[in-house]
Structure 1
Amino acid sequence: MLQASHMTNPEMSDKKTTAPSQDTAELSLYEKHRKVYARATSGKFNTLRWVFVFLTQAIFYFTPWIQWNGRQALLFNLDERKFYFFDLVLWPQDVIYLSVILLLSAFALFLFTAVAGRLFCGYACPQTVYTEIFMWIENKIEGDRNARIKLDQAPMSARKLKIKASKFFLWGVLSFWTGVTFVGYFMPMRELMGDLINLTISGWSAFWVFFYSAFCFLQAGFMREQVCKYMCPYARFQSVMFDPDTLIVTYDEARGEPRGARRKTDDLKAKGLGDCVDCKVCVQVCPTGIDIRNGLQYECIGCGLCIDACNEIMVKMDYKPGLIRYDTENSIDKNYTSKQMLRHIMRPRIMLYTGILLIISAIFAYSLSTRIPLRVDVLRDRGVMTREVGDGQTENVYLLHIMNMQDSARTFTVKPEGMTGIRMDGQDTFKVEPLGNLTQPINVRVSADEGKPGANQINFVIVDTENPAIRLDEKSTFIQPN
């Protein structure tokens, strides 16, 4: 707190003067938190929000249960250090793909925000989705906005305790199941559920389940709009990506002002009023508690609930809907037509973001489609000297390491090339288990008079017997004695 005071001068304390009264002013450095009691509304944007709630949660809760080739279809297995995505299996060596996915996500975010503002925040962000679900539970148990306000202001009683306990219980069940599901993406879901049922879950698994459960309970149940306003970095840097042609939730000030109460039959021109009746319903339905009529604010998540609420009032007053609507600043100021709107949407920065996104996506898709699910290392065994064997042959010993990156057993043939008459002594076909590794010593022979004394360049060609397109060439050297 800051304190400002007016004090008497100590050097004049001996004079017969009356000291002025001490005035103290306290200024808070932070805005005091006020709980937002969001009012329920209906309309096409509210319906669209619930469509995204059902869609995202159906994907989130059911995906870990999908089985694929005898394993979980989508799994970030930290113990095995593998990422399973249906037929695709990524290993630590494929970290470049994760980097590209993050890069694509960043440019997609830039593009989407530049075109349509914070629609992701308003419809698909996990914070928004779970807050919406928690608020629905709260509304069903505690009642509408006015009932919730009265309940919170009422002294503690058996009825209030029962209502609050019921709400917290349902929040807790949902949070716990969300935590279990989230952890189920990082360890096999069926194994995790078996451990939970049998109470044999490991300490770390239990920690992360309860950590994410508590995280969900706290953020969706209590923090809500504070996460969007103070914790989310997206709210802070969105202004860098916004411009006057970005689609945002906006209030048509020219049409709505001056605002004021009136009867439905009043003559607006005679009263000098705009279309806004100053009912403040748009404020009451806002999940972050802002007044959209004050202009674009970083707290606005672009959910469109104020549009639904305002349109409902406009219809009741026999006014044209759209006083609050999705629009651009330029469109409102300059009254753009649809064609002009489209032209301004396809502006240079949008074309640049789109071009970069398409190029990276094409490279990523090509790289992924041509990726060879095989890793091979062939190292000459330095612990075994080059040796001469019968029939004038020289033999080198190598250590062959094959990593099968597919989730089915594969058989590979190994053939040395690069010197006339070079061949393997013994087995040249090897079976590798699904997602397995094989380490095998191999002997390679060549005529003693072939090549030069010292190191000679050779290649090992490793080919999948069932799919010859899966092939790798591994360079090595063959040592001929002096």
Structure 2
Amino acid sequence: MKFDIKEEDLIIKPYKHAGPIYIREQKGYFQRIRRYLSWFLMLVFIGLPWITYQGQQAILFDVAHQKFKIFGATFLPQDFMLLAGVFMAGAFALFFVTNWLGRVWCGFVCPQTVWMLMFTWVEHKVEGTRNQRIKLDQGQWNLTKIQKKLTKHSIWLFMSLFTATSFMAYFIPASTLYTEMFNLQWSGLVCFWVFLFTLCTYGNAGFLREKMCTVACPYSRFQSVMFDKDTLVVSYDFARGERRGRRKRKDNPESLGLGDCVDCNLCVEVCPAGIDIRNGLQYECINCGLCIDACDQTMDKFGYKKGLISFKSEQQMAGKQAKPMRLKLFGYAILTVAVIASMIVWLLLRTPLEVSVIRDRNALYRLDYQGIVENPYTLSVINKTQQTLSYNIALDGFDGASLVAPSNIKVAAGQMVLVPVTISADQNDLKHRVHKVTFIVSALEDSTIYLEKQSYFYSE
């Protein structure tokens, strides 16, 4: 089958959108996936701060006191290695998904995309369809236009404020945050951060929108480094679709010398980035699949086979067999699993107790008139659990020495207590000038919570 394709039809002109992008409301398979994911992620984001565990907020990042509480475990700045592991696992997982499915993170779960499409949905409900919104913006200002604009921006501002307070609830107890808000008792610092996050959400999702993805976000720039010929991306079947052209539903495209693309332009109108996917893969494309839903809908109306625009790899578009398992993809998967496994092992071996041994800086040792050598120490005991615990201190590895230390040391949840202790030994029993000693700090309520710390005992 041969088409009469002119030379100018083969010249791909990049789509340049001038002015604001008016996104057409679209329904379909990928839109349903995104909508369900968006609702789920929003509910998780809003609901997590309200979950309680052992009488306290389950997730709280108390920056002021440098304590991060996550379901009964308290993490301190000393545990920031875990945060590095989270970022590493997230990065490798993102590389894995990108090499496999392209920029589906951007199109389906990125907060910028979720909020942008949520704001667009409000715009659609208040101001009408795409054509109605264009007509409204191009028309003169009147009472109807002012009313619709005020309603839209009021809802946007409320959503932005609610987003900001939901985010702040991860750093300030949610009950305290909202109680003080309704009583107008917020401090200046809290007001500043809530105002800043409200402004950022309102500006990003309401005005900047796709510009955050195409201009500010670095991910769109280096995504091609992770792509290969087997990466699944939103692709237009040029051989099947060209030569594109409008026609009636009953027309035979072969007799007209046309391909399956009816040039309805819906794939452009539904695109959040305002690009034309028929011009090939572009860095602005976020793999949201909206153009696929729009095209499949059109193909169904004309009785054509769906999939003119679909998730396909470069190899599949060339008619070759795809390689589901490849070295780069396998490597990203191994690194992701390795980092997550390391974090799990670290958490399992982690003791919810932190102990530091601080020696007296004034003197290494003291010798009394009876020939008894004393070494003073200060033990820093940090309780990383969310309950008050009592601790005892014992000495190991130094026969003949005695330990003077308080018993039943109570330490509140997430608190630190400095405990002065002294080790004494008879000078005549010491065979060396330096002896290795081990302090054992153990919880009375839970025998599995204990920690050993080594130090040194000095004498003449």
TM-score (norm 1): 0.88
1:388 pairs with 359, 368, 375, which one?
Answer: 368
Q: How far apart are the structure 1 equivalents of 2:434 and 2:168? A: 52
3-state SS of the aligned residue for 1:180?
Answer: helix
Q: How far apart are the structure 1 equivalents of 2:99 and 2:405? A: 64
3-state SS of the aligned residue for 1:101?
Answer: helix
Q: Following TM superposition, by how much is the alpha carbon of 1:88 offset from its aligned partner in structure 2, in angstroms?
A: 2.2
Q: How far apart are the structure 2 equivalents of 1:121 and 1:419? A: 60
User: Are residue 47 (structure 1) and residue 32 (structure 2) matched?
Assistant: yes
3-state SS of the aligned residue for 2:340?
Answer: helix
Q: How far apart are the structure 2 equivalents of 1:335 and 1:457? A: 69
Q: Following TM superposition, by how much is the alpha carbon of 1:32 offset from its aligned partner in structure 2, in angstroms?
A: 7.8
**Quick check: 2:230–2:315 contact (8 Å CA) kept in 1?**
yes
2:448 pairs with 469, 472, 475, which one?
Answer: 469
Partner of 1:438: 417
Partner of 1:357: 336
Q: Structure 1: 5+ residue runs without aligned partners?
A: 1-30
Matches within 5 A, 1:150-299: 150-299=135-284
Q: Following TM superposition, by how much is the alpha carbon of 1:310 offset from its aligned partner in structure 2, in angstroms?
A: 0.7
Q: Following TM superposition, by how much is the alpha carbon of 1:393 offset from its aligned partner in structure 2, in angstroms?
A: 4.4
The one-letter code matched in structure 2 to 1:381 is D
3-state SS of the aligned residue for 2:428?
Answer: coil
3-state SS of the aligned residue for 2:429?
Answer: coil
Per-residue CA shift, 1:180-238, capped at 9, x if unaligned? 11111122222111221121211111011011101111111111111111111111111
Structure 1 or 2, whichever has the larger Rg, is 1
Partner of 1:420: 399
Partner of 1:9: none
User: Are residue 315 (structure 1) and residue 295 (structure 2) matched?
Assistant: no
**Quick check: 1:386–1:479 contact (8 Å CA) kept in 2?**
no
Partner of 1:10: none
**Quick check: 1:419–1:450 contact (8 Å CA) kept in 2?**
no
1:460 pairs with 409, 429, 439, which one?
Answer: 439
Q: Following TM superposition, by how much is the alpha carbon of 1:365 offset from its aligned partner in structure 2, in angstroms?
A: 1.0
The one-letter code matched in structure 2 to 1:264 is R
**Quick check: 1:409–1:434 contact (8 Å CA) kept in 2?**
yes
Partner of 1:6: none
Q: Which moved more, 1:353-362 or 1:201-210?
A: 353-362
Q: Following TM superposition, by how much is the alpha carbon of 1:398 offset from its aligned partner in structure 2, in angstroms?
A: 2.0
Per-residue CA shift, 1:100-134, capped at 9, x if unaligned? 11111111111110000011111111111111111
The one-letter code matched in structure 1 to 2:206 is G
Q: Which moved more, 1:148-157 or 1:224-233?
A: 224-233
The one-letter code matched in structure 2 to 1:63 is L
The one-letter code matched in structure 1 to 2:240 is R
Partner of 1:86: 71
Partner of 1:333: 318
Cα distance, 1:32–1:324 mapped onto 2, change above 3 Å = closer
- % same residue: 39
**Quick check: 2:355–2:382 contact (8 Å CA) kept in 1?**
yes
The one-letter code matched in structure 2 to 1:452 is K
Q: How far apart are the structure 2 equivalents of 1:426 and 1:251? A: 76
**Quick check: 2:119–2:156 contact (8 Å CA) kept in 1?**
yes
**Quick check: 1:423–1:446 contact (8 Å CA) kept in 2?**
yes
The one-letter code matched in structure 2 to 1:479 is Y
The one-letter code matched in structure 1 to 2:367 is R
Q: Following TM superposition, by how much is the alpha carbon of 1:345 offset from its aligned partner in structure 2, in angstroms?
A: 2.2
Per-residue CA shift, 1:238-285, capped at 9, x if unaligned? 111111210111111111111111222222222211111111111111
2:118 pairs with 90, 111, 133, which one?
Answer: 133
Q: How far apart are the structure 2 equivalents of 1:137 and 1:236? A: 30
Q: How far apart are the structure 2 equivalents of 1:427 and 1:227? A: 59
Q: How far apart are the structure 2 equivalents of 1:265 and 1:377? A: 82
User: Are residue 301 (structure 1) and residue 286 (structure 2) matched?
Assistant: yes
Partner of 2:353: 374
Per-residue CA shift, 1:150-205, capped at 9, x if unaligned? 10010111111111011111111111111111111122222111221121211111
Partner of 1:479: 458
Cα distance, 1:226–1:452 mapped onto 2, change above 3 Å = same
Partner of 1:142: 127
3-state SS of the aligned residue for 1:139?
Answer: helix
Cα distance, 1:465–1:58 mapped onto 2, change above 3 Å = same
**Quick check: 2:156–2:202 contact (8 Å CA) kept in 1?**
yes
Q: Following TM superposition, by how much is the alpha carbon of 1:458 offset from its aligned partner in structure 2, in angstroms?
A: 1.4
Q: How far apart are the structure 2 equivalents of 1:137 and 1:196? A: 26
Cα distance, 1:386–1:241 mapped onto 2, change above 3 Å = same
**Quick check: 1:37–1:145 contact (8 Å CA) kept in 2?**
yes
Q: How far apart are the structure 1 equivalents of 2:427 and 2:368? A: 8
Partner of 2:105: 120
Q: Structure 2: 5+ residue runs without aligned partners?
A: 1-15
Q: Following TM superposition, by how much is the alpha carbon of 1:463 offset from its aligned partner in structure 2, in angstroms?
A: 2.0
Alignment root-mean-square deviation, CA: 1.7
TM-score (norm 2): 0.93
The one-letter code matched in structure 1 to 2:113 is T
